Amino acid sequence: MQHHVTFVRRILSFLFVHKRSLFYLLVTIITIHLLLLLGGKIYQHLDRDPDRGAIAIADGAFGESYSTPIYLEDDESTAVDESQGWSHSDSLWFYNITQGSALLPYDFYLSLESADSEEKLRSNRFIDYYRYLPQKKTFFNPDALAVGFVKDTYQGKDYMGFTCAACHTAQINYQGQAVRIDGGPAMADMVGYLTAIEKALHQTRSDPQKKARFMSAVLALSNDYKNQEAVEADLQKWTNTIQLYNTVNHSHIDYGYARLDAFGRIYNRVLQYVPNRQDVYELLTQATTPAGRYLISDEQANKVLEGINETIIGNDQFALIIQRLMSHEPGYPGLTQRQMLIVRNALFNEPDAPVSYPFLWDIARSDYVQWNGLAANSGIGPLGRNTGEVIGVFGILDWTAKDHGFSISAYLSGQRHKHKQVDFKHSIDLVNLKRIENHLGTLKSPLWPEALFGNIDVEKARAGQKLYARYCESCHQVIDRNNADRIAIAKMTSVNRINTDPAMADNSVSYRGKSGNFVNTFQAAGVGNVIIAEDAPVVQLLTSVTKGVVATPDPDKNIFRRWGDWLYTLVGSFFTNPIRTSSVKAGNYDPDTTANPYASLLSYKARPLNGIWATAPFLHNGSVPSLYDLMLPKKKAGDPEDGEYRPDEFMVGSREFDPVKVGFRSDGYDGTAMKTIRVGDLNSGHEYAAGHTPQPDGSLPPALTTEQRWQLLEYLKTL
């Protein structure tokens, strides 16, 4: 104790003696940082392509060719060149701002051919087929990558990664004309594209001619690879990495276009890093077949885990574990694909609750976000939420175990008393995440383009407004898109009241995993502190690791810039957030209790519906193709055959707009068949307009007539 007191006195004495020098140093650091931020602000507006990089596509997927996409004209409250409140440069900056994602080495992505073809997997044809958005070369995008595909750099190497825009930029086609919607839900098939990447990598390794072309293309770039040996080593490493990701996240639910189980995949990425060697050993040796037979012996498990780190396993070692589990060499289990799924279910959780990509306008002004209201959006909440997103979309997590000592990340993640502590080194760009959130605060919802889709019937819309007030407004607040002080209030409704598909909400609470180094740590919940058990809800583990990552400055910057940026990010995130104070959740849901501290997550969020016309398909899991169909009841046993019901099967993937029912073309082409017969895909619930779901006050207004449905639909176009 005396030693510690003496040490503190010496520190205080040093600070007092050198206070003037330290003051000047602090002022210098702040000045340099402000100049860098000013330079970044100027740089943000250098890309001013009038088409915002968009290009025409001939012979597009599903027979949809389109001219150069346009952006909607805004109302009189904004500048002439603005759409949804964003200028040309605003859109292009959003498409190309990095966030620390690393799906593949950049040289690999530029050079990779598709399976069974010499055509590059990044070609516009493939990009359009998987429903991403092709772009031309612009200042920020010299290699003409798709919207939201960017070159990111970490520890001196370049990677291709995703930005927010990859999943949150929409396109609507109508009679050959395309319209881009910034912040809208993507039609993307991420699972399909990642599967295609895995197949391409495997074939590149096994096909000598394809491999030779790939090697030549990578080396010709003269970037991160200087010889064939380095390319060969990373080709094997990244093939294993993508295979691991796809194996871990395999689901019996076909997501198809326009959906992704982002929560489930983020949870599984956390479980690649949190469990320790002993946790994995126990899970492997306890895995059993449906008949109760153990799959892996103690000896086999020890051989599989030979040389694996005790505390932090990580991506590369997990890929090695997967390889060894499937190996037929002496001493290894030699598991089949079906047996591997049993092991996967022991180590991870099946991501079987795909949801629509949410639209982003007004997200920065929402009090709670995510479909189940998981994330409080006040203070630095958006920084934590966006950090979790980048963990899910391939942020590099260079986590290691270190000896006990003080660190901010250990303190915030609950590890301050642990003998070993996780060092959360990572590629995630916290400064850019803050800048993105601020940028989204200026984005407005799109306005119905009457010149393209037809004029709104004013009389019908007035009648529809009254119906909206009676049937919708108790949950879906009406806001003014031009009000600078607007706040979007999330109205939560419990799953057992709204009766929509429960999978996403259930999984967010019920999915569990081994807690590794976080076992017996304390974590604040809404009703008090919880102790993280050995088998813990993954939502707890995600909270811990997100705090640890946010508390870890960028390793790619010098010490002054690193800590200056970190302080700027945290302090700025609080003071620039319009939601500064956490509010009580609004709505009709089961509150958290000490017995069930996550009860409120078993609910779904209703948000303002401005711009809703541009966000098909509908319901949180994309199980209803149009707004008109959403007003219809789900057909149940005993219902008359000649009634109007929501379609139980329809096609997804087309961007051709239906301005009558307000949705996308849902038949007549070979897209993804959405069959609403399984949990995860159900199209039931939210039947307010059909007179089947009670209002929050318990009343049950009668079902809308056909005429009233069209009136309400007309009003929804005005929002």
pLDDT at 9 over 60: no
Confidence of residue 54 (pLDDT cuts 50, 70, 90): very high
551 pLDDT more than 70: yes
Read off the pLDDT band of 31 (50, 70, 90).
low
Tokens of 121: 């997997």
pLDDT of residue 6: 44
Across the chain, what does the average pLDDT equal?
Answer: 91
Q: Where would I find the H helices in 441-531?
A: 450-453, 458-471, 495-498, 503-510
Using the 8-state DSSP alphabet, how is residue 118 labeled?
S
pLDDT digits (tens, 9 = 90+) for 255-308: 999 999 999 999 999 999 999 999 999 999 999 999 999 999 999 999 999 999
CA distance 610 to 629: 19
Judged by average pLDDT, the poorest of 185-189, 356-360, 529-533, 580-584 is 580-584
Q: What's the mean pLDDT in 584-609?
A: 94
DSSP states along 581-606: S--PPEEE-PPP-SS-TTGGGSEEEE
What is the model's pLDDT at position 8? 42
Band (pLDDT 50/70/90 cuts) for residue 43 is low
Query: What is the crossing angle of helices 381-392 and 262-271, to 10°?
Result: 80
Please check whether residue 171 is in contact with residue 178, taking contact to mean a CB–CB distance below 8 angstroms: yes
Q: Residue 450 above 60 pLDDT?
A: yes
Is residue 4 predicted with pLDDT exceeding 50?
A: no
User: Given this model, what pLDDT does residue 20 score?
Assistant: 66
Span 386-414, average pLDDT: 91
8 Å CB contact between 106 and 151: yes
Residue-wise pLDDT for 76-87, tens only, equals: 656 667 899 999
Given a cut of 50, whether residue 314 has pLDDT beyond it is: yes
**Higher pLDDT residue, 128 or 310?**
128
Q: Measured between alpha carbons, how far is residue 243 from residues 240, 426, 630, 651 in Å?
A: 5, 22, 38, 28
| Of the candidates 375, 591, 602, the residue with the CA atom closest to the CA atom of residue 510 | 602
- pLDDT of amino acid 11: 46
Scanning the structure block, which residue is given the tokens 């901010």? 408
Query: To the nearest whole percent, how much of the chain has pLDDT over 70?
Result: 93
User: In the structure, how many helices (H) and strands (E) does the chain have?
Assistant: 25, 23
Least confident of 10-14, 147-151, 706-710: 10-14
Please check whether residue 651 is in contact with residue 619, taking contact to mean a CB–CB distance below 8 angstroms.
no
Please compute the mean of the pLDDT values over residues 153-164 and round it to a whole number: 96
